[in-house]
Amino acid sequence: MKRSYRDMQVVVVGAGGTGLALCTYFCQRGARVLLSDRRQAAAIAGLAPLVAAGVELDLGGHATARFVAADLVVISPGVPLDVPALIAAAAAGVPVLGEIEIAARDCTAPLVAITGTNGKSTTTTVMGEIFAAWGKTTFVGGNLGTPLIEATKRDDWDWIVAEISSFQLEAIDQFHPRYGLLLNLTEDHLDRYPDMAAYVAAKLRIFERMTADDVAILNAEDPLVLSATAAIAPRRVYFSSRRLLPEGIGFDGTALVWRHAGREVRFAAAELQLRGTHNLENVMAALLPPLLAGCPAALAWQTACAFAGLEHRMRVVRVLDGVTWYNDSKGTNVGSVVKSLAGLNRPVTLIAGGKDKGGDYLPLAPLIKEKVTTLVLIGQATDRIAAALGHLTTTRRAASLEEAVQLAREVTPAGGSVLLSPGCSSFDMFSGYVERGEVFTRAVLALPARGEEGR
């Protein structure tokens, strides 16, 4: 049965897509809704239908008195808990919860929640397609795109597969997945968290309400994942890209090997369209919950092999004059760039930069020295990246992404690659990684072939 919020005063914080969906959700359940955002109305799309439905607006800031007087405050992903109005509400005893907490309370289908620093979107998408191919009615969303609150519009889901960020996990209470996946842990979002320990602690909240009847899917080759999950309650099942495992999924150099309850099934890695060790790990993680739930192994593998990859994640834009251009705009942290560079051969022109997230760029140093012949820097983080890595290779600066594409064209020889893998968020120059990837793609596709310039 759907939860009622009749006559409750609910403050929704953040007027992005998730916040607007939350307003609709609470209105349909009888709440009196106030939508609060630090932006003015002119900068927010989609307000008119909500106002017509009775939603009040608190724009241009956050009215602390309204927060303190509320029965419930619900924050959109990305809204930090240190907003003064939120601190005041919590101090007054008002529950401050996140969207995934509200959504999960209304969902009765088993929930698979996927977190980690990198690979979440690929793992979530592949897993959702496996469940769907198995004939299961499956919601796929969360941080990936469709807000989890949208899953509450139906009650016939067989499975809910959700990508979950550390930001979303900050404001949970009873959030309880059947399967919780922690893919990997590397530095990220240190512009939000005081240190790496705080970031890891946020990620670990995914297991907070899980019990011995639930399953944690973990990367056996990530030392930080192993140490951080040593005391969690759920049963642990592992995947490894370096060795075979007595239980779980391992890799022998040519095949993924699934071992469970005395059975062994082998999958030829060469059959996958996805390439790279990181994608092997993503596929292993995506396979485990469906396989453990009884999905036929051959069907699961066939579906994984049919997946060609996500937009803006190591996608080939074109091959021009012998140079391969890759759009990896979704590579928003250093760990992601490391994985992308590892799959390429020298010479690589790397376009990097954007809004700095406070992490350490030095893990890129070995690959910069080994593979990158030219580093082209854009955005707010230019100076920090140049200070850390600029001495390792030829380094150029560009005022725009379009200029960076032109520079890359000039310096990259036939047989080389140009990789847009920023290692930073996009919000200094773009609305998000999607727009950044689209701008890059348009600029690359507009390049003329050699000999056609000026025609």
Cis peptide before 347 (omega within 30 of 0): yes
Out of 62, 189, 339, 371, pick the active-site residue: 189
Structure tokens at 293: 């739930």
| Pairing state between β 323-327 and 315-320 | antiparallel
Contacts of 102 (CB under 8 A, 6+ apart): 22, 25, 74, 149
Out of 118, 143, 184, 279, pick the active-site residue: 143
On whether the CB atoms of residues 120 and 143 are closer than 8 A, the answer is: yes
Out of 120, 339, 357, 371, pick the active-site residue: 120
**Numbers of helices and strands, H then E, in the chain:** 16, 20
- The rounded distance, in Å, linking the Cα atoms of 28 and 37 is 21
Place of tokens 């003329």: 448
- The rounded distance, in Å, linking the Cα atoms of 110 and 104 is 10
Contacts of 53 (CB under 8 A, 6+ apart): 23, 24, 27
Q: State CA 376 to chain mean position distance.
A: 25
Q: State CA 356 to chain mean position distance.
A: 17
**Max CA separation in the chain (angstroms):** 70
**Alpha helices (H) along 250-400:** 277-292, 297-306, 334-342, 365-371, 382-389
**Catalytic residue list contains 143:** yes
**Catalytic residue list contains 62:** no
On whether the CB atoms of residues 157 and 148 are closer than 8 A, the answer is: no
**Catalytic residue list contains 189:** yes
Q: Which residues are catalytic?
A: 120, 143, 189
